[in-house]
C-alpha cells in the first residue's frame, strides 16, 4: 500500500484521471437519467458544477501535479499535497450532490489556491527565470476561478446583488478552463502537434531583450481583456463581452500557431488537439453572432473544445508515463472512437435545441454517446493507471 501511494505521489494522474472521468460520466448521466424518466427533475446548475468543478478540475489537478514537477525539474507531489487535493475534490462533490453549492464553491476556491501554491513552490524552488510567457494564463485562470466562486457565494448570501451572478457564472464555467487552454494549451498544443519546437534555455535567454518581454506584455494584456469581458457580460453588454472574449482567444491561439498550421505529427492524437482549438474559437464567435443560441454555441466550447482536448492530452499522459509514447502516432483505437463519439454527441446536443418537443431526448442521446466515450476511455486507460514502467523505479525511491 505504501509503495502504491508513493507511485501516485510521483504521478498523481494515476489517481485524479480516473476520478475525473468518473465525475464526467456522473455529470453527463444527469441528462440521460432525466430523458429516460428515472429522475423527476433536472438542474443545469448541477450539471455545470459537476462538469467544471469536478470533471475538468480533476483532470487539471492530475495534469498539473504530474507535469509541473517535471517541467520545473523539481520535486514531485508530496503526500500531504495529494491528500489535500483528493480531500478537496471529494468535499466539492459532497457539496454539489447534497445541494450545498456555497460549500462547493468554497472548497473549489481552496482547490484553486492549492494549485497555485503547488506550482509556485516548484518554480520558486528552482528559481526559474524564464518560464514560458504563456504560463501567465495559469494565474489568470486562478483569478477567474476564485473571483467567479467568490461572487457566487456573495451574491447568493445577499451581500452582493443577484446581477453579479451574471458575471460569476460564465467566469467560473468558461473563464477558468478557457484560460488554462489558452495558456498551457497554447504553449504545448503546437509543440505536441509538431507545428513548433520546444524552446531550449539558450534560445529563451537570447530572446529576452526584445521578443520575450513584448510577448509577456501581450499575454498579460490579452488576459486582462479576457477577464474584463465577464464583467461586461454581467453589466448586460453581452455583444461587447463575447466580441472581446472571442477576439482575445482567437488572437492567442493564432499567435501561438495553434490554429493556422496543420498538425505535422502523424496520427489522430494531434488532429484531436487541433480540432479542439477550432471548436473553442468557433463556439465563442457563434455565441457572439447568434446570442439566441448562446447555450448551444458554448457547448461547442465545452464538448468539442474542453472534452476533446482532455481525452487527447490525458491519452498522451498515460502513454508517455507508461513508456509507450510512440503509440500515440499509431492512432490508438480509443482516440478513433473518441473522434467519432464526441462530435456525434455534440451534434445531438446542438440539434436538440432545434425542437422543443424532442429537446430532452436529444440531450439524453448526446449524454449517452459521451458516456460511452468516457467509459471506453476508462477501460482503455485502466491498465495504464496500474502499470509502472521500469524506468521509474529510481524515481519511486525518492518520492513521498
Residue 200 maps to a domain: no
Residue 198 lies in a domain: no
Region 126-144 average pLDDT: 84
Nearest to 171 by CA among 226, 212, 126: 226
Burial label for 67, CB within 10 Å (0-12, 13-18, 19+), is middle
Specify whether 159 is located in the same domain as 216: yes
Are 243 and 181 contained in the same domain?
A: yes
- 290 is a domain residue: yes
User: How many Cβ atoms from other residues are within 10 Å of residue 37's Cβ?
Assistant: 9
Q: Are residues 147 and 120 in the same domain?
A: no
Q: Strand (E) positions, 48-131?
A: none
243 and 339 share one domain: no
- On whether residue 203 sits in a domain, the answer given is no
Which structural domain, as residue segments, surrounds residue 283? 265-400
The reply to whether 103 and 6 lie within a common domain is yes
Largest CA distance in the chain: 63
Domain boundary among 88, 103, 131: 131
Residue 189, CA distances (Å) to 195, 217, 286 in order: 9, 21, 23
Of the candidates 82, 107, 131, which is a domain's last residue?
131
Residues 288 and 349 reside in one and the same domain: yes
290 shares its domain with 366: yes
Of residues 267 and 325, more confidently modeled: 267
Asked if residue 204 has pLDDT above 80, the reply is no
Residues 1 and 99 reside in one and the same domain: yes
Do 241 and 274 belong together in one domain? no
Q: Is 197 domain-assigned?
A: no
> What's the pLDDT score for residue 396?
39
Give this prediction's pTM.
Answer: 0.92
Question: Do 6 and 105 fall within a single domain?
Answer: yes
Q: pLDDT at residue 126 above 90? A: no
Contact 163, 234 (CB under 8 A): yes
Q: Number of structural domains, the chain?
A: 3
Task: Tell whether 225 and 355 lie within a shared domain.
Answer: no
Same domain, 302 and 336: yes
In a domain, 345, yes or no: yes
Helix axes 79-97, 13-35, angle to 10 degrees: 10
What's the N-to-C CA distance of the chain in angstroms? Answer: 13
- Tens digit of pLDDT for each residue in 341-399? 999 999 999 999 888 889 999 999 999 999 999 999 999 999 988 877 665 444 433 33
Amino acid at each position: 500500500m505504501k509503495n502504491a501511494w508513493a507511485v501516485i505521489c510521483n504521478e498523481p494522474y494515476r489517481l485524479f484521471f480516473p476520478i475525473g472521468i468518473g465525475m464526467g460520466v456522473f455529470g453527463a448521466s444527469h441528462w440521460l437519467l432525466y430523458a429516460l424518466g428515472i429522475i423527476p427533475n433536472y438542474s443545469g446548475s448541477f450539471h455545470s458544477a459537476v462538469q467544471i468543478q469536478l470533471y475538468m478540475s480533476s483532470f487539471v489537478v492530475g495534469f498539473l501535479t504530474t507535469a509541473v514537477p517535471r517541467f520545473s525539474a523539481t520535486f514531485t507531489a508530496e503526500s500531504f499535497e495529494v491528500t489535500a487535493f483528493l480531500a478537496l475534490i471529494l468535499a466539492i462533490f459532497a457539496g454539489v450532490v447534497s445541494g450545498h453549492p456555497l460549500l462547493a464553491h468554497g472548497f473549489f476556491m481552496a482547490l484553486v489556491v492549492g494549485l497555485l501554491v503547488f506550482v509556485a513552490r516548484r518554480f520558486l524552488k528552482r528559481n526559474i527565470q524564464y518560464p514560458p510567457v504563456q504560463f501567465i494564463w495559469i494565474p489568470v485562470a486562478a483569478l477567474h476561478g476564485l473571483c467567479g466562486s467568490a461572487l457566487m457565494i456573495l451574491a447568493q448570501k445577499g451581500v452582493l446583488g443577484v446581477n453579479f451572478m451574471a458575471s460569476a457564472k460564465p467566469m467560473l464555467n468558461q473563464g477558468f478552463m478557457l484560460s488554462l487552454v489558452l495558456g498551457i494549451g497554447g504553449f504545448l498544443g503546437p509543440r505536441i502537434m509538431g507545428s513548433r519546437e520546444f524552446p531550449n534555455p539558450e534560445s529563451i535567454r537570447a530572446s529576452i531583450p526584445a521578443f520575450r518581454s513584448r510577448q509577456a506584455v501581450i499575454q498579460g494584456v490579452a488576459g486582462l481583456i479576457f477577464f474584463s469581458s465577464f464583467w461586461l457580460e454581467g453589466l448586460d453588454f453581452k455583444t461587447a463581452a463575447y466580441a472581446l472574449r472571442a477576439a482575445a482567444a482567437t488572437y492567442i491561439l493564432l499567435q501561438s500557431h495553434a490554429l493556422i498550421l496543420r498538425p505535422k505529427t502523424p496520427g489522430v492524437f494531434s488532429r484531436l488537439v487541433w480540432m479542439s482549438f477550432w471548436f473553442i474559437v468557433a463556439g465563442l464567435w457563434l455565441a457572439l453572432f447568434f446570442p439566441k443560441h448562446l447555450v448551444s454555441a458554448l457547448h461547442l466550447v465545452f464538448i468539442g473544445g474542453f472534452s476533446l482536448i482532455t481525452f487527447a492530452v490525458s491519452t498522451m499522459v498515460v502513454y508517455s508515463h507508461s513508456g509507450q509514447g510512440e503509440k500515440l502516432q499509431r492512432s490508438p483505437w480509443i482516440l478513433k472512437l473518441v473522434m467519432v463519439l464526441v462530435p456525434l454527441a455534440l451534434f445531438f446536443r446542438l440539434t436538440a435545441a432545434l425542437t422543443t418537443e424532442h429537446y430532452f431526448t436529444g440531450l439524453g442521446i448526446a449524454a449517452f454517446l459521451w458516456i460511452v466515450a468516457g467509459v471506453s476511455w476508462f477501460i482503455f486507460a485502466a491498465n495504464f493507471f496500474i502499470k509502472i514502467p521500469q524506468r521509474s523505479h529510481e524515481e519511486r525511491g525518492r518520492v513521498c
